[in-house]
Amino acid sequence: MKIPEKPRTTAIRLNSYIADCGVTSRRKADELIQQGRVMVNNKVITSMGYKINSFKDKVFVDGERINLSQPVYYLLNKPKGYVSTVSDDKGRPTVIELIRTHIKIFPVGRLDYDTTGVLLLTNNGDFNQAMTHPSNNIKREYDVKLDKILSQDDEEKLLKGVFIEGGRGTFLTVTYPTNNKKAPTVVSSEGRNHFVKNMFKALGYTVTALHRRSFGFLTVKDLPEGSYRELTQRELKLVNRILNNKR
């Protein structure tokens, strides 16, 4: 994973700087400036065409410091009823709406509209690529609810390999933490869309609820549904270490 380097210093128009930080378009940045929502250092700036020094000056939008290329990483406990995209042509709520930030972020991989649990969001394309690339084998753990009891035979098939759209898929483990054969927990290192549902569907089961309990070592154990937090520096170091070891 490559953390972006510091940008070059320049005198830059305030509206361009806000747009380059990924907050919004240049035109909308002008509106923010006019509305008195932008501060440079300790001063509200409302004049159009104002220039800043991108190394020295500190810029705030609605009180939040913004930076060029500042990478951000969020861990969300996704609730049901949100799509894991930046926008939705059907007008459904998106996970982006759950995160209060001016920085343009996107989800790392996808969870279905009705799936809950661990979802990472970032503005760092390298991080996204590293976490989702199949060669990195990042494990995902899912709590599943099925419409019927999972038979021993089918459990074995899921571990050996099942043919689904896009090719053969396998679960690495299938366990029953609550001793309920309708509620297995499965682990896979697959990121294909609808992977878990398609695996069960191939054997005639319907997934009635799905929760991603973990993604690598990241869990939402202490995060209520709909809440999020930034990844800690320690977590980011660990992610980096894991990914570097895999190279």
Catalytic residue list: 112
Q: Does 194 bind ligand URA (CB under 6 A)?
A: yes
Which of residues 127 and 195 has its CB atom nearest to ligand URA in the complex?
A: 195
Q: Does 115 bind ligand URA (CB under 6 A)?
A: yes
Q: Does 145 bind ligand URA (CB under 6 A)?
A: no
Which of residues 181 and 194 has its CB atom nearest to ligand URA in the complex?
A: 194
Please, what is the minimum distance in Å from the beta carbon of residue 78 to ligand URA? 9
Q: Does 111 bind ligand URA (CB under 6 A)?
A: yes
Give CA–CA dist 198/205, Å, rounded. 9
Please, what is the minimum distance in Å from the beta carbon of residue 112 to ligand URA? 4
Question: Which 15-74 residues touch ligand URA, going by CB under 6 A?
Answer: none
The position carrying tokens 């930080």 is 21
Question: Which 195-234 residues touch ligand URA, going by CB under 6 A?
Answer: 195-197, 210
Which of residues 127 and 171 has its CB atom nearest to ligand URA in the complex?
A: 171
**Considering CB under 6 A, how many residues would be counted as binding ligand URA?**
8
Q: Does 143 bind ligand URA (CB under 6 A)?
A: no
Please, what is the minimum distance in Å from the beta carbon of residue 190 to ligand URA? 8
- C-alpha count within 13 angstroms, C-beta hemisphere, residue 27: 0
Q: Does 78 bind ligand URA (CB under 6 A)?
A: no
Footprint on this chain of ligand URA (rule: CB under 6 A): 111-112, 115, 194-197, 210
